[in-house]
Amino acid sequence: MPRKKGGLPYEVHPTPAKGKDGKNIMYVKPARGYKMNMSAVDQFCSRGGYGMREGELSRAFSVFMSAAAELMSMGYRIDTTIGSFAPKLALRREITDADEVKNSDVMLNGVEYKPGKKWNKAIEKWLDDGFRKVETPNVQEILCDKAHLEKALAESLKRGYTTVKVFAYHANLTQYSARKQLNEWTKGENPKLMKSRMGQQDIYTEI
């Protein structure tokens, strides 16, 4: 079972924006490396006094995901105690005339999740120890590790394309650094990636 270690761990990173003193403005984010899969969360709940037997949480999530997916395929937004879920749609091509949009032009573009304010209240009651700064990973060292970047790219491309957010997660980079690296791979005589637009975000596909 995870143990509390004196506060929620966080990292400090610079943004591209400059402050009044001419230096980069900082922002904070939860420290990387803290991750639990569904099986681990299931075990945590079964052994942590939550009144659940091992396997129950996983089965409940599996049923919920199947039911929610079926309902979202009918166009429903699902409001729950952990937030709302709704299908996100996009067009497969650029169209400027609404009358020209056909059913075949529409595609599923993921799920929109809005957590709401209940998460804040649920987390805050466990924040008795506040927050704890941890050492920030050396971004330059990560960017110099070509094998690591290649592995992260391969992982992030498993669904056929990647985004800045997905690649940043796999590469252990900030989204700013991840975007710079992805864009770098779209340049040159033999680019590795092709950049295009899907909805409100850039996507990168392998060439």
CATH topology for 139-206 is Arc Repressor Mutant, subunit A (1.10.10)
Spatial distance between the Cα atoms of 80 and 69, rounded to a whole number of angstroms: 14
Q: How confident is the model at residue 6 (pLDDT cuts 50, 70, 90)?
A: confident
Per-domain residue ranges for the chain? 139-206
pLDDT tens-digit series, residues 125-156? 999 999 999 887 777 888 899 999 999 999 99
Mean pLDDT of 167-176: 87
Per the listing, tokens 């409001």 go with 79
Please choose, from the candidates 169, 176, 181, the residue with its C-alpha nearest in 3D space to the C-alpha of residue 143.
Answer: 181
Length of the chain counted residue by residue: 207
Q: Enter the pTM of the model.
A: 0.61
pLDDT tens-digit series, residues 36-65? 889 999 999 998 889 999 999 999 999 999
